Amino acid sequence: MTAESTAGSQPESVRHDIVLSEQEASIGVSRVIERSGKRLEVKVPARTRTGQTIRLRNAMRITDGRDGDILVVVRVQTSAGGVLVVTDASFENEVLKSPIPVLVDFWAPWCGPCRVLAPVTEKLSGEYAGRVKFCKLNVDENRLASQRYQVMSIPTVMMFRKGRIADMSVGAVSEGELRKKVEALV
């Protein structure tokens, strides 16, 4: 038996990461993941912790037409440098019903300009703590909010005041430009 045929006889596993807010992890949620143009619902149980893996047995048969599991690795993130991770499920409470103005960074992990903007929002979140809430929403994992606000390009930064859009920018912006927008928000 050759190495190639040995490797081919073993079922494959692929990894898919999802990020949950602390609230979602504590109560449990359903998330939709996409692979090879197919969508699968993942039920994350209550009290899930960072690093836990949910095994979708033989899910690759549905997505790729071959045997194999999809391993969904959960990361629970309450905040990163003062930036709160929001989802479709938490968007209304964290953003629209917030008593203070909110900046939302619509992003994706594969987006280069999004990674450039992230340290800027993290820095500003510390400077404006208590006056402006800074949030980030992964557009790949949270399509409802992205569609509702017609986010066509990322990064898109939207600023909300009393549940309404007060300002927005598309693309990576400098710290100075973003600071001006945040100042106008407060």
Q: Catalytic amino acids?
A: 111, 114
Total residue length of the chain: 186
DSSP string covering 76-118, please? E-SEETTEEE--TTTHIIIIIT-SS-EEEEEE-TT-HHHHHHH
**How crowded is residue 81: how many other Cβ atoms within 10 Å of its Cβ?**
13
Give the up-direction half-sphere exposure of residue 26: CA atoms within 13 A in the CB hemisphere: 6
DSSP string covering 121-156, please? HHHHHHHTTTTSEEEEEETTT-HHHHHHTT--SSSE
Query: 90: part of which helix (H) or strand (E)?
Result: none
Tokens of 20: 């949950």
Nearest to 80 by CA among 131, 120, 33, 28: 120
**54 has which bridge partners?**
72
What is the amino acid identity at position 116? V
Tokens of 141: 């994992």
